[in-house]
Structure 1
Amino acid sequence: MRALTVRPGTPDSLRLVDDHPEPPTDEGSVLVEALSVGICGTDHEIISGQYGEPTPGSTTLVIGHESLGRVIEDPTGTFEPGDLVAGIVRYPDPVPCPNCAVGEWDMCRNGLYTEHGIKGLPGFARDRWRVPPKFAVRLDPNLAQVGVLLEPTSVVAKAWAHIERIGQRAAWKPQTALVTGAGPIGLLAALLASQRGLTVHVLDRATGGPKPQLVGALGATYHTGNVTDLDFEPDVTLECTGAPVVVLGVMQKAAPTGIVCLTGVSSGGRMIDLDAGALNRELVLENNVVFGSINANRQHWDMASEALAAADAQWLAALITRRLPVSAYAEAYTPSGEDIKVVVDFTQP
């Protein structure tokens, strides 16, 4: 069986293994044939040795947390052979913490969770994988070419769920949403904003390529330049870049009672002059909320599945700018500034 493995902590250790063991049954009753895995910044950071944890008793980790596959068998009867599914990435910790105990493992408080392809659980970049039924999410059969986008969509589905919960603190009727960053997370965040009937704006550095057209196809407005130069104050902002200047800018630009959700992870190491007192004054006097969001639980994965089923399939397909066979894994995992989403196709040799 083919699998893409890394040695966490060892830079550039990504390898294609042709004789990887079959997934043991203790990984879960649902046996799945891999169709594709998506690649994101987390994968690049693991490959560069920045983090990642091997599976217990091993020095290696099968990479890949954005999955899509077809069920081969499920003795529990929850799924039928041929069902299109994706595997949930994070599992609750064994203690468990109060949040994991109630199925909110995305909000784990003690950090003992595990994650497929990232932290202690083998990933989905292998010909076959297993998961328990409650960690498999069924997708609409029409999503066979784009269902690999479910994991990043679950991240923004969670972000929107928390935005809407926070909004209930007052009479809240948001009209305008700003998304900073037009990568996969940003574009999917804009999709979910448009599905909610909001006036959507997307800010990104790119002046050419597919991003402006993808934003326009949603009925949204595409911007370049500085966030502080925008001529409106958004009711909701989803910050998807992690760029410190942009993070600070969206905090300053929020409308009164505005909500800012930070989904981008900053790399750190960059100093920026900031009048913290003025920013604090503005946030307090305007009743703004700024919060961070990452990962997702089962509820959010189901929301994401519904959102993808309701979306235009051609628009979703345009997010996948490169699709390469497993044999071209080195090329697939080499970053390119022109890509939106790169996918490794396990149906090809």
Structure 2
Amino acid sequence: MRALTVRPGQKNSLEERQLPDPSPVDGELLVRGLTVGVCGTDHEIASGEYGWAPPGRDWIILGHESLGRVEQAPPGGGFSAGDLVAGVVRRPDPVPCGACAHGEFDMCRNGRYTERGIKEIDGYGAQLWCVEPDYAVKLQPHLEHVGVLMEPTSVVAKAWEQVERVGGRAWFEPRRDLVTGAGPIGLLAALLGTQRGLDVHVLDRVSDGPKPPLVRDLGAIYHSEDVAQVISKVCPDVIIEATGASGLVFAALTGTASYGVVCLTGVSPAGRRITVDAGSINRDIVLENDAVVGSVNANLRHYHQAADALAKADLPWLERLITRRVPLERAIEAFQRQPDDVKVVIDL
């Protein structure tokens, strides 16, 4: 089989290489890889900034946003040859911590978890891969061309679950939602917001290209003006921050209506400094009973929520999210950003 590999910590080490076909063990599924998505984490790994190879070697098969078709499945495991599946990224730590022991491995407390294509386990960027049935999620057949969106949708499903759980500490009936950032996470967050019947607004810095019509075709409202103007106009009950841009993060902290919830999903780069009025931020959050929560990764429950959300979504809209498809033999092109990129995927 062919696979996309990288040496974590070594810049420009992306390589398509020939590897032996994997053999399923202990009831694993054998899956024919169809597509793998490329996200910011993959860019960081490819740039040598992040990632851990499996023990005993210096390279890892890249790719955690997966889509494949089952080739072999053990009897009685709930899967059959031909099923469309996505593989879960994270595995619980071996100790395990309390969260991992209860199936909430996305909330691992000791950091000993592993992750496909990121941390110590080969990823899904290969023409064949194996996965345990407990870490595979079935998709409806009509999602064959867009099912690679499962992993980012699972991240968004978790974020919305966190918002609703935090809001549920008292009476909570949000009506207006602001999403900052119209990348894949932001657009999928907007999708799940509209599926909840909310008045959804999306803020991004571009004013043309594919993003504004994608937002409008959800029935949401697109904004490209200053964040303070948008927050003042919208007065959102919920903000899902999906950029990691420091200015937007701090604007979001005090940008909700009273008893609002801010969910931070974007990861900020270190080293950038801005001046903030910390006292004013604290005062607003306390006096308005606001809440701020960080959210990353997803567990099996969130993958099932994502599968349901994608199944309900408008298929042509989902197809428009994937703005560029690159064949495996030219995979390096998927890591060369282009102005109108929303979601870039590699066809395996």
Code of the aligned partner of 2:150: L
Distance 2:179 2:105 in 1: 26
**Of 241, 244, 247, which residue of structure 2 is paired with 1:242?**
244
**1:145 aligned counterpart, secondary structure:** coil
Distance 1:27 1:222 in 2: 49
Q: What residue is the counterpart of 2:265 in the other structure?
A: 263
Contact 1:228 1:252 in 2 (8 A): no
Contact 1:88 1:301 in 2 (8 A): yes
Please, what is the CA RMSD of the aligned residues?
A: 1.0
Structure 1 gap ranges (5+): none
Q: TM-score, normalised by structure 2?
A: 0.98
Distance 1:101 1:123 in 2: 23
Code of the aligned partner of 1:201: H
Q: What residue is the counterpart of 1:295 in the other structure?
A: 297
1:214 matches 2:217: no
Distance 1:247 1:71 in 2: 41
Q: What residue is the counterpart of 2:41 in the other structure?
A: 42
1:305 matches 2:307: yes
Code of the aligned partner of 1:343: V
Contact 2:23 2:30 in 1 (8 A): no
Q: Percent identity?
A: 57
1:147 matches 2:147: yes
Code of the aligned partner of 2:13: S
Q: Alpha-carbon deviation of 1:332?
A: 1.5
Contact 1:28 1:130 in 2 (8 A): no
Distance 1:136 1:185 in 2: 21
Q: What residue is the counterpart of 1:341 in the other structure?
A: 343
Distance 1:266 1:120 in 2: 24
Q: Report the count of equivalent residues.
A: 345
* Cα deviation 1:80-116 (Å, max 9, x = unaligned): 1000000000000000000000100000000000000
User: Compared with structure 1, are the counterparts of its residues 295 and 267 closer, same or farther at alpha carbon in structure 2 (3 Å cutoff)?
Assistant: same
Q: Alpha-carbon deviation of 1:337?
A: 3.0
Contact 1:228 1:250 in 2 (8 A): no
1:14 matches 2:46: no
Distance 2:31 2:229 in 1: 49
**1:25 aligned counterpart, secondary structure:** coil
**2:234 aligned counterpart, secondary structure:** coil
Distance 1:292 1:136 in 2: 26
User: Compared with structure 1, are the counterparts of its residues 27 and 221 closer, same or farther at alpha carbon in structure 2 (3 Å cutoff)?
Assistant: farther
Structure 2 gap ranges (5+): none
Q: Alpha-carbon deviation of 1:9?
A: 0.4
**Of 325, 333, 347, which residue of structure 1 is paired with 2:327?**
325
Distance 1:260 1:28 in 2: 41
Distance 2:289 2:88 in 1: 35
* Cα deviation 1:226-273 (Å, max 9, x = unaligned): 211121210001000000000011112111000000000000211111
1:277 matches 2:292: no
Q: What residue is the counterpart of 1:118 in the other structure?
A: 118
* Cα deviation 1:113-144 (Å, max 9, x = unaligned): 00000000101011100011010000010000
Distance 1:219 1:83 in 2: 32
Q: What residue is the counterpart of 1:52 in the other structure?
A: 51
**2:129 aligned counterpart, secondary structure:** strand
Q: What residue is the counterpart of 2:60 in the other structure?
A: 61
